[in-house]
Amino acid sequence: MESKIVEFQEEVMLRITLQKDSHNSYHEQLYQQIVSLIRSGELPPHAQLPPVRNLASQLHVNYNTVRSVYLRLQQEGLVDSRQGRGTVVSNSVNDPLLTRNPAQLTLLAKETIHKVKAMGYSLEEFTRVLSSVVQQLNQLPVLFLRFTELELAEYCRLVQYHLPSVMVEGWTLDGFWERVGIETDFLMQYKAIVAHPSVIPRIKQVLPRVAPPVVGLDFIPDPTVVIPAVDAYPRQTKVGLICATTRGAEGMIQDLHNAGISHLNLLTIEANHPEVFDLIARCDVVYISKPGYMTRPQLLTLPKVKEYREIPDHHGINELRKIVAQ
Q: Clarify whether residues 122 and 265 are in a common domain.
A: no
Question: In this structure, are 75 and 26 located in the same domain?
Answer: yes
User: pTM of the predicted model, to two decimals?
Assistant: 0.60
pLDDT confidence of residue 240: 94
Q: Are residues 126 and 230 in the same domain?
A: no
Same domain as 185, residue 162: yes
Task: Return d(Cα 289, Cα 221) in angstroms, integer.
Answer: 9
Question: CATH code at 54?
Answer: 1.10.10.10
- Tell me, yes or no, whether 69 and 189 share the same domain: no
Under a CB-based contact definition with an 8 Å cutoff, are residues 70 and 79 in contact?
Answer: yes
115 and 179 inside one domain: no
pLDDT for residue 235 is more than 90: yes
pLDDT at 277 over 60: yes
Lowest mean pLDDT among 37-51, 198-212, 213-227: 37-51
- Look at 41 and 299; give whichever has higher pLDDT: 299
- 265: which residues sit within 8 A by CB, 6+ positions away? 236, 237, 238, 239
pLDDT of residue 234: 95
Whether residue 158 is predicted with pLDDT greater than 60 in this model: the reply is yes
Domain interval for residue 107: 101-137
pLDDT value at 13 more than 80: no
- Confidence band (pLDDT; 50, 70, 90) for 203? very high
Q: How confident is the model at residue 99 (pLDDT cuts 50, 70, 90)?
A: low
What per-residue confidence (pLDDT) applies to 239? 95
Q: What is the CATH number of the domain that holds 187?
A: 3.40.50
Looking at the structure, tell me whether residues 281 and 266 fall in a common domain: yes
**Where is the domain boundary, 82, 115, 137?**
137
The verdict on 247 and 110 lying in the same domain is no
Share the mean pLDDT of the chain.
Answer: 84
* pLDDT tops 90 at residue 241: yes
Q: Are residues 253 and 303 in the same domain?
A: yes
Rounded percentage of the chain residues whose pLDDT exceeds 90: 24
CA distances from 291 to 3, 8, 15, 30, 84 (A): 37, 30, 36, 27, 20
Say how many domains are in the chain: 4
Is residue 158 located within the same domain as residue 16? no
> Which phi and psi (to 5°) does residue 291 adopt?
-60, -30
Residue 150 has pLDDT above 80, yes or no: no
Number of residues that this document lists for the chain: 326
Residues 84 and 114 in one domain: no
Say if residue 289 is in the same domain as residue 248. Answer: yes
Q: Which residue type sits at 319?
A: E
Specify the pLDDT at position 306: 93
